[in-house]
Structure 1
Amino acid sequence: MPMYFEGITNETLYIALEIINSNHEYNTFENGKAIRNINDIDGEFINPLSTSSFIKLDDTYIGLIDYLMENPNDHYPWLGLLMIHRDYQGYGFGAEAYALFENEMLERGIKHVRIGVLKENTKAHSFWKSLGFVYYKSSVWKYGNEILCYEKQLG
């Protein structure tokens, strides 16, 4: 079975937490804590603004993807998070999940996608650049973290 996305629900939020907590380095970059709890992520993945899904391979939950179809600040679609469980990193699943996301955006007629990457997350900068994202500005995000903003023209 190919890779696919499955929506996160209140009943499956604990699985999202397990994926997030497998990535201590990212959690520390984002909010200064290596481990998060269910209350930390509830509003992040269960809300009316963003689309939050699991990345699944067969019946295995291997990651998370979260995006806004239209950011109210600039009216562009923003990919907020693409995270692969630590146990499944290094096998190309992140690039495969992004390709699936990009195909969905193209089918919806979307021409550009933007992302913000925490300045300290050097692995992520390399990953997104390798997929064709181009830096266009720096900004400050929650917790006072500096993020580098990237954009990719699709199609």
Structure 2
Amino acid sequence: MFETDRLLIKPIESIHVNALYEIYMSNPDYVNLTEGTTDGEGSYTKEQMLRDLHIAELTGRQVMGIFKKMDQEMIGFLEYWEKADVDQMPWLGLLIIHKKYQGKGYGTEVTKGFLQWATSVGWPEVRIAVVKDLKDVVSFWQSFGFLPFAEKDKRFPSGMKQLVCMKYQCK
């Protein structure tokens, strides 16, 4: 799909399922926020993740692995829609970096690369939705030029959350 100085972003394959699950579960705050099940009632299983990936595929979402060029280790993943059902616009649905690789600039590098790629393929804009209470995450996206354009409520397994919808104008 695209690459950056240190990373390759490409489709995941069945051999990446265990790494994908490990990446997801390395972020227990996110799992708790969205699924409501990190160590209390219930749990988010690999089977549930596989179900979610299947649903993603059925709805046109693309799931890409984030791999270090140096050793091909998968350190994260992103999901996007070229044309989301809700408005036929491109959306970045999820960007997760393994906890042990956070704070090393990988999220910034992937985001810059993704936005350059989106611009190069002719997308007019990229949209995202962020849980409003996650002020640091909202600030992260604003640092790239994403601007709020709407708010909406969404039901997660963990309950209702208010989302800030933001968009980036490709140049």
TM-score w.r.t. length of structure 1: 0.92
The correspondence for 2:45, drawn from 27, 37, 40, is 37
Alignment of 1:1-150 (within 5 A): 2-34=6-38, 36-46=44-54, 47-48=57-58, 49-58=60-69, 59-143=72-156, 144-150=160-166
Amino acid at match of 1:50: R
SS at 1:40's partner residue?
helix
SS at 1:141's partner residue?
strand
SS at 1:91's partner residue?
coil
Rounded to whole Å, the distance in 2 between the matches of 1:27 and 1:126 is: 20
Amino acid at match of 2:53: F
Q: Does 1:152 align with 2:168?
A: yes
Contact 2:35–2:44 (CA<8 Å) still a contact in 1?
Answer: no
Q: Which runs of 5+ in 1 are unaligned?
A: none
Contact 1:64–1:82 (CA<8 Å) still a contact in 2?
Answer: yes
Rounded to whole Å, the distance in 2 between the matches of 1:148 and 1:28 is: 19
CA shift for structure 1 position 142: 3.3
Amino acid at match of 1:107: S
CA shift for structure 1 position 96: 0.4
Rounded to whole Å, the distance in 2 between the matches of 1:31 and 1:81 is: 14
SS at 1:147's partner residue?
strand
Q: Which runs of 5+ in 2 are unaligned?
A: none
Q: Sort the Cα spacing of 1:121 and 1:40 in 2 relative to 1 into closer, same or farther, 3 A.
A: farther
Q: After superposition, what is the alpha-carbon deviation per residue over 1:136-155, rounded to whole angstroms, capped at 9, x for unaligned?
A: 11112232322111111011
Amino acid at match of 2:113: L
Contact 2:84–2:90 (CA<8 Å) still a contact in 1?
Answer: yes
Q: After superposition, what is the alpha-carbon deviation per residue over 1:14-60, rounded to whole angstroms, capped at 9, x for unaligned?
A: 21110000001111111212262112211333414111011111212
**RMSD over equivalenced CA pairs, Å:** 1.5
Say how many residue pairs are matched: 155
Tell me which moved more, 105-114 or 118-127: 118-127
State, as a whole percentage, how many aligned pairs show the same letter: 26
CA shift for structure 1 position 65: 0.5
Contact 1:136–1:149 (CA<8 Å) still a contact in 2?
Answer: yes
